[in-house]
Amino acid sequence: MTDTRQIDDVTDAAAARAAAARLAARHGVPALERARLAATLGARLRQCLAEGGTWRLTLGVRGADSGGGALHAVLEPSPDASSAGEGTRWETTVPLPAADRPGGTGDSDSDSDMVPGDDPAALSQALLSADADTALVLDRLAEQEALVAFHRDELHQTNQGVLALHAELDAAGRAQREAFAAERRARNEAENARRRLTFLADASAVLNTSLNHGEIVRRLPELLVPRYAAEVGIWLFDEEDDPHHPMTRPAATVRAARTGRPQYAADHPGGLRGVDDLPPSVLHPDRPLLCVPLLTHRAPLGVLTLSPPGERWDPDDAVMLIELTRRAGIAIDNARRFEHNRDIAETLQRALLTELPTTPGLSLAARYLPATHGMNIGGDWYDAFHRPDGSLIAVIGDVTGHGLHAAVMMSQLRTALRAYAVDDGSPGLLLTRLHKFLHRLQPNLYATAVIARFHPDESTLTWAAAGHPPPVLRLPDGRVRTLDAKPGAMLGIPLEQEIADHTEQVAPGSTLTLYTDGLVERRAEGIDPGIERLSAALGSFGPAELDTDLEGAADRILKPLLSDSERDDDVCLLLCHLQG
């Protein structure tokens, strides 16, 4: 079925457009496709009218009888017109539904598809039908626009949610980073605080282990350089240089000495807690100075002057340095007080260790070595003196404790023994009286002692011991015996006791050795191995060596027994040799 129309004016064009729309409607073309066909054809027709001339529109349906097909439209210049246009041929094809609408005849001459050009009513109806299709398309377009608007709103809300989520995630990430940074700062601060406290504890231990103030002054710069200071200067007030050539000191150091407050001299404020800021030092203008007084409980000892390892100190490091300086001042003061007391005690003890008496047929040699730790002075003592009956009393003892108090008590015991020995009395009786004297004088102080008595008219040795290591006797033939008869208890303990005497036969050439526990006792092994070493040393001498050089023998005995240069206790040795 085909329909051919000649188009010369706008009325022919409108009729042709209406005929195409009615043909498409008859064959069941959807309204959307009909509107698209009418719009496209209308646009081409307007273009043809603008170009002028006569045009021919051919409408036809192909394959409609077979249950399908398509509507075919061709617009081209009319070949029959004398003034045909020279436009371009146009054609389009619209697919038909699978089955034609009921009632279709398929005749090409059916009046239902024809729109006469001179029938305004039919043309108007056709145009109204086209407007209905257009309205349907507009409704569909409105629905799509509403749907697009709905999805646009949903997309906008989704985007807002995504943006909000991103903002929350960004804020959470920022907060997490700030928390991690704060944690790192806190960890670093804690580690730095631990490092400072550890250094302060270790440095304090080093300074307090020495009781020599010169050693403390020497160690202090070694502890601080180069970690906490580039240079360290120590000014002790009582160790001034030659007054005729005084040393020039920074003004900040002098001000710290006068005020007793730390001073910071630099071209910038230090911002250090408890420290006064001063202008830079004229002597050292290129570097800051921290001047801290060495304070004690009584008065300042001096000033510690430091320069920083870098441009300036960390405020917490400066606080630590001030605290260390305070502890150093106390350590130096304690060392000086100890040295003063030690000098007094040594002077007292040396004064009490008198020269040994000279006795025909009997040689005496003694040695006293103070401990190398602590006060270097203790209660060890020896003595030898003649009695009115001509006998010789030799005694060695040890008062518990160290220091000035022990030395004073030792002198009192020595004096009391000499007083008691004026009257006739055996060594055991003398020790018994000393025991009562010490218990009444100093109930909380104890002592040990050994007393031996030699009589020129007798070949016997009488001795007694109270809590003291046993005497060692070397016989003329070189054999060595330990006189380990039962001794009395320590002097001064809350116990009533009568200390017994013991007697030994001695021949010319015999040597009695009295000593204190510092000679033979070692912490790791006790006292017995030390007594064995002492016995071996006595037995190593030849028969004439002790007769000719008892002083040298005393030195040779000490050498193997005191191989270590460090001693925790005093050492006393008293040799009594009967000439051969």
- State how many domains the chain has: 3
Residue 279 belongs to a domain with what CATH number?
3.30.450.40
Q: Note whether 312 and 386 are same-domain residues.
A: no
Q: Which of 146, 170, 199 is the last residue of a domain?
A: 146
| 279 located within any domain | yes
Asked if residue 573 is part of any domain, the answer here is yes
pLDDT number for residue 376: 55
Alpha helices in 103-119 (DSSP H): none
Distance between CA atoms of residues 490 and 465, nearest Å: 9
- Of 96, 61, 64, 60, the closest CA to residue 75 belongs to 60
Residue 202 lies in a domain: no
- Decide which of 326, 345, 364 is a domain's last residue: 345
Would residue 169 count as lying in a domain? no
51-92, pLDDT tens digit by residue?
888 899 898 888 766 666 888 999 999 876 554 445 688 999
pLDDT at residue 112 greater than cutoff 60 = no
Let me know whether 71 and 142 are in one domain: yes
- Predicted TM-score (pTM) of the model is 0.53
Kindly state the helix (H) or strand (E) to which residue 75 belongs, with its residue range: strand 70-77
Phi and psi angles of residue 401, each rounded to the nearest 5 degrees, phi first: 95, 175
| 97 has pLDDT over 50 | yes
113: which DSSP letter?
G
The 10s digit of each residue's pLDDT in 253-300 is 999 999 999 999 998 888 888 899 999 988 888 889 999 999 888 778
Residues 6+ apart with CB under 8 A from 173: none
* Whether residue 332 sits in one domain with residue 359: no
In a domain, 154, yes or no: no
Domain presence at residue 153: no
Could you tell me the strand order of the sheet in which 70-77 lies?
A: 2-7, 55-62, 70-77, 90-95
Residues 282 and 369 grouped into a single domain = no
What does the mean pLDDT of the chain come to?
84
Same domain flag for 299 and 406: no
Task: Kindly tell me the sign of the dihedral angle through the C-alpha atoms of 21, 26, 32, 37.
Answer: negative
Residues spanned by the domain of 380: 354-578
Rg (CA), the chain: 63
Task: Report how far residue 431's alpha carbon sits from residue 468's, in angstroms, rounded to the nearest whole number.
Answer: 12
User: Is residue 279 domain-shared with residue 415, that is, in the same domain?
Assistant: no
Q: How far is CA 227 from the centre of its chain?
A: 15
Side-by-side strand order, sheet with 571-578? 362-369, 571-578, 511-515, 472-474, 480-482
- 146-202 per-position pLDDT tens digit: 888 888 888 988 988 899 999 999 999 999 999 999 999 999 989 988 998 999 999
- For the purposes of burial, counting CB atoms within 10 Å of the CB of 191, is it exposed (0-12), middle (13-18) or buried (19 or more)? exposed
> In sequence order, what DSSP letters do the residues of 248-310 get, joined into one string?
P--HHHHHHHHH-S-EEESSS----TT-EEEPPPSSSTTS-EEEEEE--SSS--EEEEEE-SS
Whether 456 maps to a domain, the answer reads yes
> Which of 293, 316, 345 is where one domain is finished?
345
Contact 381, 396 (CB under 8 A): yes
Q: What is the pLDDT of residue 498?
A: 93
Instruction: Check if the beta carbon of residue 397 is closer than 8 Å to that of residue 450.
Output: yes
HSE (side-chain half, CA atoms, 13 Å) at 346: 15
Same domain, 392 and 335: no
Same domain, 370 and 324: no
DSSP 372: S
Residues 391 and 303 in one domain: no
Reported as a pLDDT band with limits 50, 70 and 90, residue 245 is very low
Please give the pLDDT value at position 104. 43
Mean pLDDT of the region 528-545:
89
